[in-house]
Structure 1
């Protein structure tokens, strides 16, 4: 699904952002139902925009779509959108020549944007690192990330903790997946950087709400899991809106038909100034109704400060990311 970014004036529609605003309205957070994406930006509602900075982060983990304080952002706002040139360059670094965009990959091609779209961070979009990856492995990485970010969102994990020091708990015999397996001395950020650096790239904005950015990252991952270019699920209902169930395949981005993938990212929608509280808006957007409902429930867990161990983990493992008995290893189809 698209975020409201792009190169220069050619911006994609804010699909993730408007689904998130709809969920904030429908949830116990009770965001003002008259809120629209564009007015939120124009009114400079920084405390709500912090959720959206988190939702955007999975697609922009180097924070290159926003201006730091300077000529284009003299007031040091948190949602001053840039022209996207540097983002496009780093995305292209992963796209060309089948580059190895992993932690141990090609020098110059393992930036965070390349890794998250073409390499070993594709789980940030509910996708597998490469064709043939076992679904259990993709799910393990997804659950690892959700656990870390949700605990940041709850305030259990400080934004000052170093990446190499974060461990994940498990109620199974599966191995832990600490962030030191994704970040070392040669990555940006590196293993000795903090959660703050990971989420902000040490930008100039000084009123960062780490809990909201971390929750936003969780919401992005949930939402992408219902995009057909990302994840193939069992079809539960073919009525309007379509509803989806267990995971049958985690797709992988490199090698996919880009035009088919983008069809289910909904680039043809005009969403800047729509009534996001009208959830019928999403009925014709395949997977978006499920994405909105999942986001709403995740926000409610956060509002109640429900602990990770227990109903949050169980809901994610046994419902959102439940694996079908007919699941297959990752492929590059769009279905």
Structure 2
């Protein structure tokens, strides 16, 4: 049985664009002794910012429970951590029974919104394919579509995350002119869905189409998850592998009577398309813990991206990478942004939250999400409440746009 295909690609060039805080060109190799050094190739550099921010949250959570056998204490302020010269104690003095270690996997799974098909995950052999997809293929698909839309089953999760209906995973609106409340509501509802899935209260084997068309608990997400398109393309059920795919995928001859599996909720978080030049067929990881922590990582990623100046307006000006703990007054959309200027703000930021922050800073917010995951029965605590403290609606907010500092010239 083969997993659902994504999109077929040909290797063209090499680049590494991302519409989020930067991450390494592949994930952290050693989770017990992670390196957060900058990756470089041919004069290009990629900082491991999502990984580093996540490690800071893990350290803060561990510090809050320094004298405890469990992670029962909720971190309330991680601003004491020196982001410019972090010395991560959690990776130096490890206790095999420590609860914090089970969350080290987040150093990898926090990448999921940027790399939902694991093309630059444990190997960088498909990094060129990944870059071409994000830089050229996805935008081309938008131009070719009659409605200028990304279609999930046709264009893949990667394009849908960066250019389509799942852009809220990066704290961005899908298009210019979208009402503030739309993106805010999607972020809040996603946090509940992904958190529930990460905790195991949602079955990974649930049929994707049936789950979303019958969904009431996460209603704002129904349209953006494109269940109607999944059915239109026949992905809601098992189906025969088209004959033409055998030409490009020799491994299919090992299973000539094989089928593509119907999409499940687990399919969304388990894709692995790490072939060097094409993604017409993809494998699926089988580690349930990694799949569920990918859902948890998506919440942390969304929190972190919401503090990038090229993703949201928190009353800061210019493209300098800074973290301000002010409410989001506008969600940006990528459509009319300059990719070069956008990326300037996704470098390692200066923390400028001050002594009286209005919102939770990204390190504290993510630490609280992980704490809640470990203490799900804590009374009066809800992951959506944490997201609300991250966004902190200012009362008056503008509809989405490119942002003055990032608009294409």
TM-score range, shorter chain: 0.7 to 0.9
Q: Distance in 2 between matches of 1:248 and 1:60?
A: 28
Q: Distance in 1 between matches of 2:151 and 2:392?
A: 34
Tell which deviates more after alignment, 147-156 or 308-317.
308-317
Q: Distance in 2 between matches of 1:311 and 1:107?
A: 30
Equivalent residue number for residue 12 of structure 1: 46
> What pairs up with 1:107-146 in 2 under 5 angstroms?
110-146=155-191
Q: Does the CA contact (< 8 Å) of 2:160 and 2:167 recur in 1?
A: yes
SS at match of 2:302: helix
Q: Distance in 2 between matches of 1:285 and 1:141?
A: 25
User: Residues 148-185 of structure 1, C-alpha deviation per residue, up to 9 Å, x if partnerless?
Assistant: 11001211112222222153527xxxx54326842323
Q: 1:213 aligns with which of 294, 300, 313?
A: 294
TM-fit CA distance, 1:316: 2.1
Q: Distance in 2 between matches of 1:47 and 1:113?
A: 27
Tell which deviates more after alignment, 113-122 or 185-194.
185-194
TM-fit CA distance, 1:296: 1.1
1:169 aligns with 2:217: yes
TM-fit CA distance, 1:334: 5.6
Q: Distance in 2 between matches of 1:309 and 1:219?
A: 21
Gaps of 5+ in 1: 37-45, 67-78, 236-240, 270-280
Gaps of 5+ in 2: 1-20, 27-38, 72-87, 93-100, 238-261, 273-282, 317-321
TM-fit CA distance, 1:121: 1.4
1:198 aligns with 2:232: no
Q: 1:315 aligns with which of 377, 386, 389?
A: 386
TM-fit CA distance, 1:321: 2.2
Equivalent residue number for residue 105 of structure 2: 50
Equivalent residue number for residue 272 of structure 1: none
Equivalent residue number for residue 59 of structure 1: 114
Tell which deviates more after alignment, 152-161 or 206-215.
206-215
Q: Distance in 2 between matches of 1:259 and 1:230?
A: 14
> TM-score normalized by structure 1?
0.73
SS at match of 1:128: coil
Distance 1:309 1:146, change over 3 A: farther
User: Residues 244-264 of structure 1, C-alpha deviation per residue, up to 9 Å, x if partnerless?
Assistant: 221100000111122221111
Q: 1:3 aligns with which of 20, 23, 37?
A: 23
Distance 1:168 1:139, change over 3 A: farther
Distance 1:109 1:307, change over 3 A: farther
Q: Distance in 1 between matches of 2:152 and 2:369?
A: 37
Q: Does the CA contact (< 8 Å) of 1:256 and 1:334 recur in 2?
A: no
Equivalent residue number for residue 249 of structure 1: 330
Q: RMSD in angstroms over aligned alpha carbons? A: 3.7
TM-fit CA distance, 1:24: 1.1
Q: 2:311 aligns with which of 225, 230, 244?
A: 230
Number of residue equivalences: 290
